[in-house]
Amino acid sequence: MSIINFGKSAFRQSGHILWTILNMLVLFSLLLSSCSNPGASAPKAKVVSPTSTPNLSSPSNYQPPVFTHQEPRTAKSETPIVTAPFPSPEALAKDKADEMTKAGEKLKFDSEAKAQKVHADVTEIFTKGDQKMNSFKPVSNPVRKITPNSHQGTGTDTNVAPIYHSTFFPVVQMASALSILTSFFDNPSASNTFTVTTLSDTDDGACDSECSLREAIYAANDFAGPANIVFNVSGTLQLNDTLPYILNQAGLTIDGSGQKVTIIGGNSGQIMYIGKNVSVSLNGLFFSNGTIFNTGTLTVKNSSFENSNRKSASLTTVSYLVNNSSSDEEPGCTFYSEGSLSVDGANLTDDCIYAEGDLSISDSTLIRSSSVNHGTLSIANSIFIASSVWDTEELTITDSQFTDGYAMSEDAAVTITHSVFKSDGEVYPYSYVYSGDVLSVDNSTFDLLGGGSLFSVGTLNFMNNSSFTSNQVGTLISKVRVL
Backbone phi, psi, residue 313, to 5°: -140, 170
Which position has the higher pLDDT, 348 or 31?
348
Q: What is the pLDDT confidence band of residue 373, given thresholds at 50, 70 and 90?
A: confident
What is the average pLDDT value for the chain, to the nearest integer?
75
Of the given ranges (80-89, 131-140, 148-157), which has the lowest mean pLDDT? 148-157
Which position has the higher pLDDT, 19 or 367?
367
Q: What is the pLDDT confidence band of residue 226, given thresholds at 50, 70 and 90?
A: very high
Q: What is the pLDDT confidence band of residue 150, given thresholds at 50, 70 and 90?
A: low
pLDDT tens digit sequence for 157-215? 333 333 333 343 343 344 444 444 444 444 444 589 999 999 999 999 999 999 999 99
pLDDT surpasses 80 at 235: yes
Q: What is the pLDDT confidence band of residue 266, given thresholds at 50, 70 and 90?
A: confident
pLDDT at res. 189: 40
pLDDT surpasses 50 at 122: yes
Residues paired with residue 403 on neighbouring β-strands, in sequence order: 385, 422
Mean pLDDT (whole number) for 8-22:
69
Q: What is the pLDDT confidence band of residue 81, given thresholds at 50, 70 and 90?
A: low
The span from the CA of 114 to the CA of 135, in Å, is: 32
**Tally of helices (H runs) and strands (E runs) in the chain:** 4, 34
pLDDT surpasses 60 at 312: no
Q: Which residues contact 243 (CB under 8 A, 6 or more apart)?
A: 213, 214, 217, 271, 272, 273
Q: What is the pLDDT confidence band of residue 217, given thresholds at 50, 70 and 90?
A: very high
pLDDT at res. 447: 85
Q: Which residues contact 104 (CB under 8 A, 6 or more apart)?
A: 476, 480
Quick check: 297 and 282 in contact, CB under 8 A?
no
Annotated domain spans of the chain: 132-139+269-482
Of the given ranges (208-212, 302-306, 318-322), which has the lowest mean pLDDT? 318-322
pLDDT at res. 276: 93
Which position has the higher pLDDT, 157 or 107?
107
Residues paired with residue 436 on neighbouring β-strands, in sequence order: none
Mean pLDDT (whole number) for 241-255:
96
Is 445 strand, coil or helix?
Answer: strand
Percent of the chain with pLDDT over 90: 35
Which position has the higher pLDDT, 418 or 465?
418
pLDDT at res. 468: 81
Q: Which residues contact 297 (CB under 8 A, 6 or more apart)?
A: 278, 279, 280, 339, 340, 341
The span from the CA of 261 to the CA of 430, in Å, is: 37
Which position has the higher pLDDT, 92 or 274?
274
Quick check: 330 and 373 in contact, CB under 8 A?
no
Mean pLDDT (whole number) for 215-225:
96
pLDDT tens digit sequence for 400-409? 999 988 898 8
The distance from CA 75 to its chain's CA centroid, rounded to whole angstroms, is 68
Q: What is the pLDDT confidence band of residue 414, given thresholds at 50, 70 and 90?
A: very high
pLDDT at res. 185: 42
Q: What share of the chain is helix, strand, coil (3-state, %, to 5)?
A: 25, 30, 45
pLDDT at res. 1: 46
Is 458 strand, coil or helix?
Answer: strand
pLDDT tens digit sequence for 83-104? 656 777 777 777 777 777 776 6
pLDDT at res. 377: 95
Quick check: 254 and 274 in contact, CB under 8 A?
no
pLDDT at res. 22: 77
Which position has the higher pLDDT, 223 or 68?
223
pLDDT at res. 448: 78
pLDDT at res. 425: 61
The string of DSSP letters for 26-56 reads: HHHHHHHHHHTSTT--SPPPPPPPSS----T
pLDDT tens digit sequence for 44-75? 555 445 545 555 555 566 677 766 666 666 65
Mean pLDDT (whole number) for 419-431:
73
pLDDT at res. 300: 94
